[in-house]
Chain A
């Protein structure tokens, strides 16, 4: 058992330079939330003319580290060991902390996924510094190089501005779905440092005995989301929601109460304890608009509310308000969309006679995306 240690003020904060990010992987690829950290991190690094260092761990990091470079890391540190094949708290936290203490970055960002938070909490203690949790905005003071992390609080009505003035590195986790992943570019130049590491046995006490994968419900990249709330009145209401979502090539979202009632699985949950999304179109059906829900979808391009209550709170943040019973409104909406869809397809067929196949395969491709 280690002795308890207090947090430690950095004696020479100027020695800490650059922005370091943790690159979480899934299925041998860099996870999308980690790509988002490249966006957030490179902005901070550029603002003070520093470098972005990406740290990736696995049993084989050769292609992962190239990817990290193609996506925009200036320096990629790849830590390689059989014991790092999949995420486990202790080896990951220990290795990441070692790199931090060696390279002394001014800022460390970790995507606030479940594993990211799991690890970041321990890394902060190991490095004896603070961490601003679950931020959605960052800003760096060009002179002092002190970062402000902004974390939505109180149902998203305000940001708490969190600083870690005297401790280094300044750590933060960032909410997935907030930043837009950068473009991949194989022409980007970067430095690569691949290391084979040995993980001490003391960190290998936890064994993963079973893994049941599930298709990740990545609502954060959906262009259209149709969500249902308590106003559906019954679990089967999600059939209608699903139909509209499918018609618009979108995904299905839900509020926490209906998830709690078991009407739909938790991976559809949007809001404070669920996912944060920013689709082009968000349709809220039978959703009153509590802050717990709206903080997860407020940044959507267009918000459409369908609610029988003309004064529903959700209307205040909606671009289009449909005051009607959703069981009447959604079928009508479907009908109107299908009418126009039929028209577009016919037009295309007429215009590009003989290229029907192309049209269809293009549609198919869109569906897959």
Chain B
């Protein structure tokens, strides 16, 4: 039987293009191009590499606004087989708890699955909590911050990159894997696959398609609130300039002010 793989992706504003309103500290989303969240691209590639070697089917799921279907189509054009967009006004303003809950409900609706892939974190919220949250809601094993993963003799293996070393873990499916940014080189979409993806299209699921109550999702289901933004007080820096011939003076100054201890 084919391995059922699910890949969770998020559409985010391109972090290289994001502008911030200096007064309100909110993102000027309109000015930035939308892209697939970087580590989600690596998650998709990790899923595709398992599909390269095994009989597998990949379902790409994203929760977001209606225009996030573009990201799903792109993922399908790279090798995803099915695309589902979870979108509803009711989901707006969700923190990580209801986001995980909603994605888990969608996965439950799909039914059978063996491996779920997700990026390590999104660039616009950078919590890293959604992937493991989904695993907890589904009650399955997880391996986070992985650089490599493979399927062998019925087991899922993954290399977790930790601050103090690399651990290789072995799990029975179903399980969830989160993938590190830049851990692989995502493949390009092919023209044939692009056409194929357009033809298949993206399925859209809303709140009523899922086994959830309106008060469980979106802002009303979120335990945390962002009270507001606060400017960060910067330390005043002198910015004294030195040319190449003054470097001796600079070293002396640092020694005499006690900063540099030789």
A residues apposed to B, CB below 8 Å: 1-2, 4-7, 26-27, 89-90, 93, 113-115, 117-118, 120-122, 124-126, 129-134, 148, 150, 152-167, 205-214, 216, 218, 248, 260, 267, 272-273, 280-281, 292, 298-299, 301-303, 315-324, 328-329, 332-333, 336-337, 339-341, 344
Contact = CB atoms under 8 A, between A and B. Distances in A.
B27 A134 contact: no
Contact of A157 (B20, B227, B238): B20
B18 to A, nearest CB: 7
Contacts, number: 255
Contacts of B135: 122
A152 B239 contact: no
A2 B139 contact: yes
A130 B224 contact: yes
A161 B141 contact: no
Given A90-B141, A167-B223, A206-B169, A114 B162 contact: yes
The 9 closest A-B pairs by CB, nearest first: A130-B223, A121-B132, A133-B127, A6-B216, A130-B224, A121-B129, A213-B165, A167-B223, A158-B25
B157 A114 contact: no
Contacts of A153: 25, 229
B141 A7 contact: no
A156 B25 CA distance: 11
B162 A301 contact: no
Given A4-B211, A303-B237, A323-B243, A161 B226 contact: yes
B172 A212 contact: no
B154 interface: no
Nearest to A345: B262
Contacts of B15: 292
Nearest to A303: B237
A328 B244 contact: yes
Given A125-B133, A213-B165, A133 B250 contact: no
Nearest to B249: A336
A284 B44 CA distance: 35
A341 B94 CA distance: 57
Interface residues of B, number: 89
A273 B223 contact: no
Contacts of A93: 136
Interface string B213-255: 1011000011111111111101101111111100110111011
Interface in B90-118: 95-98, 100-101, 104-105, 108
A160 B229 contact: yes
A196 B125 CA distance: 38
B168 interface: yes
Nearest to B160: A114
Interface in B11-29: 15, 18, 20, 22, 25, 27
B10 to A, nearest CB: 15
A329 B74 CA distance: 47
A5 B225 CA distance: 19
A285 to B, nearest CB: 13
B244 A166 contact: no
B98 A7 contact: yes
Given A6-B101, A125-B136, A118 B223 contact: no
Given A7-B97, A89-B142, A216 B163 contact: yes
The B interface is mostly helix, strand or loop, or mixed, namely mixed
Interface string B160-184: 1111111111111001000001100
Contact of A121 (B96, B169, B213, B229): B96
Contacts of B132: 89, 117-118, 121-122
Given A6-B101, A121-B96, A301 B223 contact: no
A281 B259 contact: yes
A365 to B, nearest CB: 14
B145 interface: yes
B126 A213 contact: no
B126 A134 contact: yes
Given A4-B101, A115-B162, A162 B226 contact: yes
Contact of B96 (A133, A152, A212): A133
A158 to B, nearest CB: 4
Given A114-B163, A281-B259, A341-B262, A329 B128 contact: no
Nearest to B131: A121
A319 B239 contact: yes
A113 B215 CA distance: 32
7 contacts: A154-B20, A157-B231, A158-B229, A206-B143, A207-B169, A212-B167, A340-B252
Contact of B172 (A2, A205, A248, A333): A205
Given A158-B230, A318-B237, 8 more contacts: A1-B139, A130-B95, A131-B127, A158-B231, A161-B230, A208-B167, A298-B234, A322-B247
